[in-house]
Structure 1
Amino acid sequence: MWKFNIVATMAGAGRYRHMLEDLAPFGEFRRTEFLGVALGQVSDPLSMLETIRRERERKFYAFQDLGRIIPVERVFTFTPDTFGDLLKEMVPGFLERLAGKSFYVRLERRGHKGEIISPEIERDLDAFILAQLEARGAPGTIDFTHPEAILAVETLGDRCGLGLLTRDLMERYEVVRVG
């Protein structure tokens, strides 16, 4: 499986080819089988986000075909039967940054319709993370209105990427947000 660290989605009425052309200078981006979604491998996601932010401030039409970017830190393949357990195996890598914080899990599922139920996975992972934080003596809270972080879970068929979107990251970069 090709490793990726960026999930990029097209703006609602955007043009896919233009989005890919805009992103090409930052690294390698590949089309996916899902409409308007590309996977990217870039050397410095924060530098890319900063460049996009500056260009959008300078020219209102810069990156106009780009809807969202989710930087991901953990990538794995799964089957519907293994998905929930594999997600829980990835959680320890995020616990330190979620300790004592308000957060929630957001799953953007592409593929496996009827096999993976997003709200069930989100609730289960929220509860699992809360229990893990409590056991560490650093309880967190679920907050959907103004969380300090969102654990973004992005699936594309049998591939999954997880990224932690902090409030600071989302406030600084308007393209970093969950769907």
Structure 2
Amino acid sequence: MLYWNVLIKVQKHNFSPAYLLLEKLGRVYQSDFEDLLLVKVESIPQFLAECDRAFKKDAHLLNLFERIVPVTKTFDFQSQEEFETQAKEIVMDWIPMLADKKFYVRMHRIGFKDRIDRHEEETFLDLVILQELENIGKPGQIGGVDPDMIVAVETVTERAGLACWTRQDLQAYPWLGSGLLVPQ
């Protein structure tokens, strides 16, 4: 099993230059999926800052990538039930950040499409968050237009990664948003 905390979808025909750039930032793994690199970095904030510096220095580097999605929590799962249990546990830790906010859950799956339904899991996590926010008296709202927060969920076969990004994160790192806003 590859242990990663950054998922990178490379633009077609840019695999080698993307790999060379990323290996300066962390341990890079070639996945079993076309144009998909998985990276293990020591620090997500440091990774974000180093990528941002590189992209500001040479904006053409952005053309190497289709999506760059760091995640802050990862876990392995073998079933939908196991996925839901672990994902719920993670989002429950983020309830204080989501209080009184407009948010949405965005899931991208690579592999396991016959075992995990993206729409079903997004709805499941949306409802978990809404119910808990209601329970603590800090209701939230699901909203895909100009959200305060995005809960990003990435799966590559039986490994999942989750992150909670703020509007300020997406403004600071606009290249990050492209991986979170567009469903696949």
User: TM-score, structure 2 length as denominator?
Assistant: 0.88
Instruction: Write the letter of the residue equivalent to 2:4.
Output: F
Distance 2:106 2:41 in 1: 23
| Residue 78 of structure 1: aligned partner | 77
| Residue 170 of structure 2: aligned partner | 170
| Residue 101 of structure 1: aligned partner | 101
The yes-or-no answer on 1:25 pairing with 2:35 is no
| Residue 145 of structure 1: aligned partner | 145
Distance 2:62 2:119 in 1: 31
TM superposition outliers: structure 1 runs of 4+ over 4 Å = none
User: TM-score, structure 1 length as denominator?
Assistant: 0.90
Distance 2:89 2:48 in 1: 28
- Mean alpha-carbon deviation: is it higher for 58-67 or for 91-100? 58-67
Contact 2:44 2:72 in 1 (8 A): no
Q: How far apart are 1:54 and its partner, in Å?
A: 2.8
| Residue 126 of structure 2: aligned partner | 126
Unpaired runs of 5+ residues, structure 2, are none
Instruction: Write the letter of the residue equivalent to 1:26.
Output: L
| Residue 64 of structure 1: aligned partner | 63
Contact 1:31 1:37 in 2 (8 A): yes
State the number of aligned residues: 178
Distance 1:48 1:96 in 2: 25
Distance 1:118 1:174 in 2: 24
| Residue 53 of structure 2: aligned partner | 54
Q: How far apart are 1:89 and its partner, in Å?
A: 2.1
Instruction: Write the letter of the residue equivalent to 2:50.
Output: T
Distance 1:9 1:71 in 2: 12
Contact 1:52 1:63 in 2 (8 A): no
Distance 1:131 1:69 in 2: 30
User: C-alpha deviations, 1:109-141, integer Å up to 9, x for none?
Assistant: 111223211111111110111001111222111
Q: Match of 2:34, SS?
A: coil
Aligned-residue RMSD, C-alpha = 1.7
Q: Match of 2:3, SS?
A: coil
Instruction: Write the letter of the residue equivalent to 2:29.
Output: R
Instruction: Write the letter of the residue equivalent to 1:48.
Output: F
Instruction: Write the letter of the residue equivalent to 1:38.
Output: L
| Residue 160 of structure 1: aligned partner | 160
Q: Which has the higher helix share?
A: 2
Q: Match of 2:60, SS?
A: coil
Q: Percent identity?
A: 30
Distance 1:2 1:144 in 2: 32
Unpaired runs of 5+ residues, structure 1, are none
Q: How far apart are 1:63 and its partner, in Å?
A: 4.4
